[in-house]
């Protein structure tokens, strides 16, 4: 193919050069040539150097380290409306079904390099909620999500010590990250259900962390202490400015990582230690040609299955009675269980990027578990505590950010400049491989200007009543969102 | 502005050919001309620069992106490694793109996620990633001297140039094939045309505003014309060239969350 290109280029080259050159140069609009060079904007407050773009006469010596304050602040309003609830086989707790909600948020990420060896980070979101069946003056109306507040020391080049609330994220897949061990109980309110968006707004954990980097890799160890007892899984908002350490620091946890730049695979090996739930993990990525990137993640270790863990957690936090049976019935054995996410991204014609992933979650529901779940919950006269306990298992899985079913597919498409330069379209779907039900979302973001972005998200649950996604009473959701960068 | 990646032995030829390049009128080899033009465009020591990319449609400015590019030659492979930080627009500020060898990573500080991306994932609008990264063409392309031509530069001034064709010899090359016109004597790139695998013209680039930066006169503006829709034009303006103490440890995904320097 490239040989053909060479022939074509050769023919082009043999054409009368001056005429061709004149044609090309005449394509440049005069306005483009006349426009004065634009200096790069200096959002960061920098000291110790000339203003960015102040001149093109470059210094010949390495520039001195600078003290910088970087910030990214935006205000956002998101209005959500849900489709009316329909009857489902297992009655859904009515308190969890909303008709509408409006969220107004001020979101900020600040990073200050106070000294060459010290960086301070603050990441926070302040929310005001108005929603169906709730007074504006309720305790749930205002909520602050303190995502990160940390200090990072660099005592020697390439060695970092940090402490505070830190968001540590690992993993190479998009829809499910088995090696993202600190993802549990970090969810806060989201506009989009897209996993890649959810990751942008989650809580860190209190920890101390040390990391060292070499030219060929890095190693790190993090310790997140238990500072309080765990809080129950809840869909309602905790009061006010609660930092929710009872969600992120309710157990002692240690994570070690070794990342290597080898064989074009960038392997990462992880060891995660938590009482009754220690795991090993690994993830790799590799480019395949210039349009495809393949990736795989694995984590495994001894643990109970999802149902047994949910039941134990519910009893520990008082959400379930201490004498409640494990529902749906399952073994409470602690055995080695695996999680896998593997797939690839494929960029088509430099325009649309497709992701296709397979997720295996060994401790998730089997077909038998689903049958039991529906049979128990839909039995005539099933009392609310019973159906509540069944839904609790699924709420727990969501809180842990783990799939409910053992096998699922994830498909995502992203088209950044769709039809026009300012429109980005994306869509994703989680497809259960046990019952073919689907959770999908379409989203459109229009970049009105550099400062304003308008977005719309439409999501839906599709499937028969006795399926994972079809069992939700509210099948559709529409979110309109306006973002203003400050 | 085009940049691409490299092959070590050609760089050796490049370095050996400095004196040949200075004798441009003595018809240096095609490889020497390309290598000399690479040196005009790319400082050999670690450096950073700022780039402002402005997209024009029918002459009217639309989107703009501001980037900081940090580059260093890998002492083993002799390829440039690049770390690119978005400075504007605000919604993208702080995002990073890392290119080292054949792998490319994208980091978003909001999600703290480093995602490996393909070379085809276009992150900077009409200009491709290859247009903003520092590369030595000599390492990715075999070159052939087609002859000498007098062409007009972007400012309609006549330039006496070498006309060369380059064909990709590595899978990491951003384009399958390109033509380049390099001014005799100064070895300054004047114009380039880029082609797809199928031989379809993709874009035309003109280099202008040569000014002193890090010890040499370098083109501070590149005008990129979309060959399919010539009404789409991107202007890439470079500024704030600075020598920088770029560490080898920067060029790995685990460093991306640590990057905080301007």
Cβ-defined contact of B112 to A168 (cutoff 8 Å)? yes
Q: Which residue has the tokens 């309110």?
A: A189
Q: Measured between beta carbons, which residues in chain A are less than 8 angstroms from residue B206?
A: 24-25, 28
Q: Examine the pLDDT at A338 and tell me if it is beyond 90.
A: yes
Structure tokens at A106: 């001020």
Q: Examine the pLDDT at A273 and tell me if it is beyond 70.
A: yes
Is A273 contained in some domain?
yes
- The upper half-sphere exposure of residue B212, i.e. CA atoms within 13 Å in the direction of its Cβ, equals 5
Is B58 contained in some domain?
yes
pTM confidence score: 0.85
CB A174 within 8 A of CB B113: no
Confirm or reject contact between B157 and chain A (CB < 8 A).
no
Q: Examine the pLDDT at B190 and tell me if it is beyond 80.
A: yes
Cα-based distances in Å from B59 to A27, A29, A352, B54, B205:
10, 5, 27, 11, 16
CATH for B248: 2.50.20.10
Cβ-defined contact of B118 to A217 (cutoff 8 Å)? no
Give the B window 14-73 contacts with A, CB below 8 Å. 46-48, 50-52, 54-56, 58-64, 66, 68
Confirm or reject contact between B74 and chain A (CB < 8 A).
no
Q: Examine the pLDDT at A19 and tell me if it is beyond 70.
A: no
CA dist B257 and B15 (Å) reads 35
Confirm or reject contact between A18 and chain B (CB < 8 A).
yes
Task: Out of A9, A199, A200, name the one closest to residue B199 (CB).
Answer: A9
Is B2 contained in some domain?
no
Interface test with A, best of B62, B85, B120, B200 (most A CBs within 10 A): B120
pLDDT digits (tens, 9 = 90+) for B2-55: 333 333 323 333 333 333 333 445 678 999 999 999 999 888 899 999 999 998
In angstroms, the separation between the Cα of residue A379 and the nearest Cα of chain B is 43
Is B3 contained in some domain?
no
Cα-based distances in Å from B156 to A18, A25, A33, B55:
12, 7, 11, 21
Give the B window 105-124 contacts with A, CB below 8 Å. 108-113, 115-122
Q: What pLDDT, on a 0 to 100 scale, did the predictor assign at position A52?
A: 32
Q: What pLDDT, on a 0 to 100 scale, did the predictor assign at position A352?
A: 92
CATH for A233: 2.40.160.10
Is A394 contained in some domain?
yes
Q: Are β-strands A142-156 and A45-47 bridged in parallel, bridged antiparallel, or unpaired? A: unpaired
**Residue ranges making up the domain that contains B43:** 8-258
Confirm or reject contact between A262 and chain B (CB < 8 A).
no
Is A8 contained in some domain?
no
Q: Examine the pLDDT at A6 and tell me if it is beyond 60.
A: no
A30: confidence class by pLDDT, cuts 50, 70, 90:
confident
Is A283 contained in some domain?
yes
pLDDT digits (tens, 9 = 90+) for A297-330: 999 999 999 999 999 999 999 999 998 899 898 8
Q: What pLDDT, on a 0 to 100 scale, did the predictor assign at position B128?
A: 63
Rg (alpha carbons) of chain B, rounded to whole number = 17
Q: Are β-strands B189-195 and A438-447 bridged in parallel, bridged antiparallel, or unpaired? A: unpaired
In angstroms, the separation between the Cα of residue A60 and the nearest Cα of chain B is 6
Mean pLDDT value across chain B: 82
Angle at A150 between CA A144 and CA A153, to 5 degrees: 170
- What's the DSSP call for residue B253? G
Q: How many domains are there within chain A?
A: 1
C-beta atoms surrounding B198 within 10 Å: 11
Is A31 contained in some domain?
no
A260: confidence class by pLDDT, cuts 50, 70, 90:
very high
Find all residues with CB under 8 Å of A365, minimum gap 6, and list them. A306, A307, A373, A404, A405, A406, A434, A468
Nearest Cα residue in chain A from B224: A28
Q: Name the nearest CA neighbour of A98 among A80, A116, A74, A111.
A: A80
Give the A window 353-412 contacts with B, CB below 8 Å. 353
Interface test with A, best of B199, B225, B230, B243 (most A CBs within 10 A): B199
Q: Examine the pLDDT at B126 and tell me if it is beyond 60.
A: no
Structure tokens at B148: 């000498």
- What's the DSSP call for residue A365? B
Is A155 contained in some domain?
yes
CA dist B210 and B219 (Å) reads 4
CA dist A78 and A191 (Å) reads 7
pLDDT digits (tens, 9 = 90+) for A187-246: 887 667 778 777 778 999 999 999 999 988 999 999 999 999 998 887 555 556 788 999
- The upper half-sphere exposure of residue A435, i.e. CA atoms within 13 Å in the direction of its Cβ, equals 24
Q: How many domains are there within chain B?
A: 1
Q: Measured between beta carbons, which residues in chain A are less than 8 angstroms from residue B181?
A: 21
**pLDDT above 90 covers what percent of chain A?**
64
In angstroms, the separation between the Cα of residue A342 and the nearest Cα of chain B is 14
**Residue ranges making up the domain that contains A288:** 65-485
Confirm or reject contact between B75 and chain A (CB < 8 A).
no
Q: What pLDDT, on a 0 to 100 scale, did the predictor assign at position B14?
A: 35
């Amino acid at each position: 193919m490239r040989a053909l290109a060479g022939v074509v280029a050769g023919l082009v080259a043999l054409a009368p050069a001056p005429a061709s050159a004149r044609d090309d140069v005449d394509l440049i609009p005069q306005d483009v040539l006349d426009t004065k060079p634009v200096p790069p904007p200096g959002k960061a407050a920098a000291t110790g150097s000339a203003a960015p773009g102040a001149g093109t006469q470059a210094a010949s010596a390495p520039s001195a380290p600078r003290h910088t304050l970087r910030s990214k602040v935006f205000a956002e309003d998101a209005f959500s409306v849900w489709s009316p609830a329909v009857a489902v086989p297992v009655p859904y707790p009515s308190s969890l079904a909303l008709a509408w909600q409006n969220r107004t948020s001020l979101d900020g990420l600040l990073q200050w390099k106070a000294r060459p060896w010290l960086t301070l980070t603050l990441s926070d979101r302040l929310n005001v909620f108005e929603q169906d069946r709730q007074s504006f003056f309720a305790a749930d109306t205002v909520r602050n999500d303190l995502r990160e507040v940390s200090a990072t020391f660099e005592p020697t080049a390439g060695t970092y010590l940090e402490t505070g609330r830190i968001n540590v994220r690992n993993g190479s897949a998009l829809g499910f990250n088995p090696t993202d061990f600190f993802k549990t109980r970090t969810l806060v309110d989201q506009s989009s259900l897209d996993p890649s968006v959810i990751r942008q707004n989650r809580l860190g954990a209190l920890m101390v962390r040390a990391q060292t980097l070499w030219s060929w890799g890095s190693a790190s160890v993090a310790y997140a202490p238990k500072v309080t007892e765990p809080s129950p899984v809840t869909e309602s908002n905790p009061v006010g400015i609660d930092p929710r350490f009872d969600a992120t620091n309710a157990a002692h946890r240690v994570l070690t990582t070794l990342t290597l730049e080898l064989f074009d695979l960038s392997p990462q090996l992880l060891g995660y230690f938590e009482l009754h739930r220690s795991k090993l993990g690994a993830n790799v990525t590799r480019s395949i040609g210039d349009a495809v990137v393949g990736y795989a993640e694995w984590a495994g270790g001894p643990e109970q299955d999802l149902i047994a863990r949910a039941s134990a957690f519910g009893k520990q936090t008082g959400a379930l009675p201490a004498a409640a049976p494990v529902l749906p019935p399952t073994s409470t054995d602690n055995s080695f269980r695996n999680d896998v996410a593997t797939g690839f991204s494929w960029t088509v014609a430099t325009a649309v990027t497709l992701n296709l992933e397979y997720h295996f979650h060994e401790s998730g529901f089997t077909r038998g578990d689903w049958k039991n779940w529906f049979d128990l919950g839909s039995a005539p006269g099933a009392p609310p505590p019973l159906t509540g306990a069944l839904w609790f298992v699924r709420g727990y899985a969501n809180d842990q950010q783990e799939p409910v079913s053992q096998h699922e597919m994830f498909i995502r498409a992203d088209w950044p400049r769709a039809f026009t330069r300012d429109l980005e379209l994306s869509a994703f779907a989680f497809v259960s491989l046990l019952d073919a039900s689907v959770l999908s979302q379409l989203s459109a973001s229009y970049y009105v200007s550099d400062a304003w972005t308008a977005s719309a998200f439409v999501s839906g649950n599709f499937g028969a009543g006795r399926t994972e996604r079809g069992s939700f009473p509210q099948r559709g959701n529409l979110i309109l969102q306006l973002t203003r960068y400050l | 502005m085009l940049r691409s990646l490299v092959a070590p032995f050609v760089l050796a030829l490049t370095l050996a050919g400095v004196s040949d390049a200075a004798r441009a009128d003595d018809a240096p080899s095609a490889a020497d001309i390309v290598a000399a033009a690479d040196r005009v465009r790319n400082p050999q020591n670690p450096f950073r620069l700022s780039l402002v990319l402005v997209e024009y449609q029918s002459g009217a400015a639309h989107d703009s992106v501001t980037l900081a590019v940090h580059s260093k030659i890998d002492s083993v492979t002799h390829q440039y490694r690049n770390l690119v930080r978005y400075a504007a627009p605000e919604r993208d500020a702080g995002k990073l793109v890392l290119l080292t060898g054949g792998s490319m990573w994208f980091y978003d500080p909001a999600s703290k996620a480093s995602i490996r991306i393909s070379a085809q994932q276009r992150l900077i609008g009409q200009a491709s990633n290859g247009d903003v990264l520092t590369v030595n063409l000599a390492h990715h392309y075999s070159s052939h001297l087609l002859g000498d031509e007098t062409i007009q530069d972007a400012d309609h001034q006549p330039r006496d140039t070498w006309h060369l064709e380059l064909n990709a010899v590595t899978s990491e090359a951003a384009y399958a094939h390109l033509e380049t016109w390099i001014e005799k004597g100064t070895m300054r790139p004047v114009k380039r045309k880029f082609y797809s695998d199928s031989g379809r013209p993709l874009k035309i680039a003109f280099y202008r505003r040569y000014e002193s930066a890090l010890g040499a006169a370098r083109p501070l503006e590149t005008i990129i014309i979309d060959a399919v829709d010539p009404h789409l034009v991107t202007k890439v303006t470079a500024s704030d060239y600075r020598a920088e103490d770029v560490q080898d440890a920067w060029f790995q995904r685990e460093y991306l969350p640590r990057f905080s320097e301007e």
